[in-house]
Structure 1
Amino acid sequence: MAASKEDARAYAEHGYVVARELFSPDEAAAMREHYMSLRAEGPRPGDFGGTADQPEDPTHSYPRLINMHAYDVASKEWAADPRILGYIATLIDDSAVLQQSMLYFKPPGGRGQGLHQDQQYITIDPLVGMWMALDPSDEEVGCMTVAPGTHRLGMLAVQAADTSESFTDVEAVMPPSVVETPLLMAPGDVVFFHAKIVHGSYANRSADRWRRSFICHYVGAHATSFDADPGTHVSHVGRD
């Protein structure tokens, strides 16, 4: 499936575009069931990103999965779905190549992720994020939040994050003029976002709702790596 011209314009202007019902609710339900079963099989490499390895954190019992496509056939197929690859190809005018896959469970009480730019982690350009809601995603459960237009600001400085709210310990230094927009999404909705747009999420404040999401990053077939400017990469923030 290709993005429309309007979608491509929105992506260029705002740094993101939401594709409603790109996947069906039944497909999202199948993914939820699959990843809950996969998580129940036991530890996997890279489970605990950031500061998630804290026994008192609800996320500790359901840590993320990362790069599932390397060992799980279903993940590889979902990440390579033509609906996703076709959409991204239109946005970047190049073939999309999978760089990374992740699954975040975000159980009730789980922390969010500090606002950041993906290229503060992955220094490749072009780079596009794909975030699919597997559960109803709203502000109560800590939905994806974006800052429209920030992809045009270049690479922002990084600083230490408040780890009582964020499972990652680094965040972007936000210009005072930035306005955050929460993305309310239904299961199967997908947001595609530019690697320089500031985005993240807040904690899951609900008592009994999950906010599971399937996330992949893609690079263009002709992408190139770059050196991060001083102070703009997560490795530039001192840690105790």
Structure 2
Amino acid sequence: MEKQRNEQLEELRRRFEEDGYAIAKGVFGPEELAEIVRTFEEMSHRTIPGYFEPDFEAGKDDPLKRYPRVMHPHRFDATAKKYMLHPPVLEVLRALYGEEPLAAQSMFYYKPPGSRGQALHQDNFYLKVEPGNCIAAWTAVDPADEENGGLLVVPNTQSHEIVCPDEADAKESFTTHFVKPPAGAKPVPVVMEAGDVLFFNGNLIHGSYRNKTKDRFRRAFICHYANASAARIGQGYRPLYRADGTEVDLESNPDGGPCGVEFAYYGVH
């Protein structure tokens, strides 16, 4: 069993290095997914200032007003923190990093029917992990596909430099930034089953479709990590956490990156 697991991890590492991303199948089991669903369903009926602020009277014109994403739930919810530090996720991250991972961010997306997607972007534009890079672990809580707003990735852009983004199309994206893929590169859909986890490099250009369905949510639990040898990270992602839950406080990265100093303390994306 150990040999087989090591071979699986090596294959994930190979795909991650070649393509910039890799899917680990069935990382979360049915009981774990059910606990995540219960936790965030209960959370969706209350307001948590600074983390989750829904408009309970919102109409169908913008479903994301009623179901915005939850930011940093690990900071106030034990279940979110537990699954941000989920041992099978950390095991893959160790294989990808070649060292211990540090958990920096958690998010939960409800993505109800009819909601906009997210324009193509790069995660390390926001996290600013140095030296090294961030890695995302994107867990499908529901099956995710082209119809209900699954992810798009631009393969082999993990070596593409972090760039200052353009303005996104507000009719299709709930965020404002858009990164144009390099010449000849095109986004491809990532189809996932509930419980699968997509790991991807912080430079990889990625985004998501609009949810075109009338009755399917596309819920996702998303966490970002830094390598243990990193010294700096964006201000909004501190403190970080070791596998045992203890805190690590890296230096705040003052570098504004390709957009200049006004982006030095750009918040969570």
The verdict on a shared fold, with TM-score over 0.5 as the criterion, is: yes
Q: CA deviation at 1:26?
A: 3.5
Which one-letter code corresponds to 2:100 in the other structure? S
Q: Which residue of 1 aligns with 2:235?
A: none
Q: Which residue of 2 aligns with 1:176?
A: 183
- Contact 1:22/1:83 (CA < 8 Å) preserved in 2? yes
Q: Is residue 2:233 matched to residue 1:205?
A: no
The count of corresponding residues between Structure 1 and Structure 2 is: 232
Q: CA deviation at 1:67?
A: 0.9
- Contact 1:136/1:186 (CA < 8 Å) preserved in 2? yes
Unaligned runs of 5+ in 1: 49-53
- Contact 2:99/2:228 (CA < 8 Å) preserved in 1? yes
Which one-letter code corresponds to 1:166 in the other structure? S
Q: Is the deviation greater in 220-229 or in 110-119? A: 220-229
Q: CA deviation at 1:57?
A: 1.0
Q: CA deviation at 1:34?
A: 1.6
Q: 1:10-62: CA deviations, max 9, x gaps?
A: 101100100011112342233122201112122341436xxxxx863101101
Q: Is the deviation greater in 224-233 or in 3-12? A: 224-233
Q: CA deviation at 1:228?
A: 4.8
1:160 equivalent among 135, 159, 167:
167
Aligned partners of 2:262, 2:11: CA distance in 1, in Å? 34
Q: Which residue of 1 aligns with 2:17?
A: 12
Q: CA deviation at 1:234?
A: 9.3
Q: 1:191-230: CA deviations, max 9, x gaps?
A: 0100000011011000110000000001111113363543
1:111 equivalent among 116, 119, 126:
116
1:132 equivalent among 131, 135, 139:
139
Q: Which residue of 1 aligns with 2:237?
A: none
Q: 1:174-194: CA deviations, max 9, x gaps?
A: 223112111111110000100
- Contact 1:158/1:232 (CA < 8 Å) preserved in 2? no
1:185 equivalent among 192, 210, 215:
192
- Contact 1:155/1:232 (CA < 8 Å) preserved in 2? no
Aligned partners of 1:7, 1:228: CA distance in 2, in Å? 32
Q: Which residue of 2 aligns with 1:231?
A: 259
Greater relative contact order (Cα 8 A, min sep 6): structure 1 or 2? 1
What root-mean-square deviation, in Å, do the aligned CA atoms of Structure 1 and Structure 2 show? 2.2
Q: Secondary structure at the match of 1:217?
A: strand
Q: CA deviation at 1:132?
A: 0.3
Pairs within 5 Å for 1:64-79: 64-79=69-84
Q: Is the deviation greater in 21-30 or in 59-68? A: 21-30
Q: 1:127-156: CA deviations, max 9, x gaps?
A: 110100011111001101111100112223
- Contact 1:133/1:190 (CA < 8 Å) preserved in 2? yes
- Contact 2:120/2:179 (CA < 8 Å) preserved in 1? yes
Pairs within 5 Å for 1:43-62: 43-47=48-52, 56-62=61-67
Aligned partners of 2:215, 2:261: CA distance in 1, in Å? 35
Distance 1:179 1:113, change over 3 A: same
Q: CA deviation at 1:232?
A: 8.1
Aligned partners of 1:196, 1:164: CA distance in 2, in Å? 25
Unaligned runs of 5+ in 2: 233-252, 265-269
Aligned partners of 2:47, 2:256: CA distance in 1, in Å? 36
Which one-letter code corresponds to 2:198 in the other structure? V
Once superposed, which parts of structure 1, at least 4 consecutive aligned residues long, lie more than 6 Å away? none
